[in-house]
Amino acid sequence: MNNTPRVLNRILIGILGLKLLVIGLLLVTLATVPAAGPWWQQWSAGVWSGMSQLFQHTGVPGREESWLWAVLALLLVGVIAAMIAWVAQQGKGRSGLIVAEDDAGDFPGNVRIGGGVAEQALRAALAERQDLAGAMVATYEIRGEPALKIRLQPRHGVAPHLLAADVSALVEALDAVVGKRTPVLIHISAGARSRFSRAERVR
């Protein structure tokens, strides 16, 4: 429902996983296969000598330290910033509006209806139900369009299709009030509250 960048998550996790996997397998090979040792020493010594030559050629005038260290530090800062930006993208997409549009009337301006309207109305309608252990209503913005997510936690043994039909009827009533059909997702979930609460008595 939210705007978590799922493809990006997969790609970045996959890259990290592959790298760690290759490093780990290399270490295991070095530890177990005797013939791998000389090959690794020869290959990595070549790479390292190339790099150390590069460091020697790029010295700061007047000092012996290479300016590549500063570049490396900046690069690492960049990677850290990118990681923080990536984490900040997770679970984004909550918004406070269920309707935000120009009503195309004579007066300039937009019509905005807050998500609290839907939340309060649905909460009040669901509060009397004995078969629910909890209900949450949240508004999201999906590709610029507002959408509503209703999360229900029924008690044990409640038939989900009947509950969904009832809540769907409530949503249609809300449509009539608001005057616009927003996409609605009803998630009937089994949370800890429904798991440990008493079962519904009327059977």
Of residues 150 through 189, those in contact with another protein by CB under 8 A are: 150, 154, 156-161, 164-165, 167-168, 171-172, 175, 181-189
Q: Using alpha carbons, select from 129, 197, 124, 194 the residue that is nearest to residue 164.
A: 129
- CA pair distance 6, 81, nearest whole angstrom: 19
In the chain, DSSP finds a helix count (H) and a strand count (E) of: 6, 5
Question: From the CB of 116, what's the least distance to another protein, in Å?
Answer: 19
Q: Which of 54, 111, 190, 192 forms a contact with another protein (CB under 8 A)?
A: 190
Q: Quick check: 59 binds another protein (CB under 8 A)? A: no
54 binds another protein (CB under 8 A): no
Interface segment toward another protein; rule CB under 8 A; list 41-49, 96-104, 113-121, 122-130 = 41-49
Binding test (CB under 8 A) with another protein, winner from 24, 59, 96, 179: 24
Number of residues near another protein (by CB under 8 A)? 85
Give 37-83 as a DSSP string: HHHHHHHHHHHHHHHHHHHHHTBPTTSSSBTHHHHHHHHHHHHHHHH
Write out the binding residues for another protein, residues 98-137 only, by CB under 8 A.
none
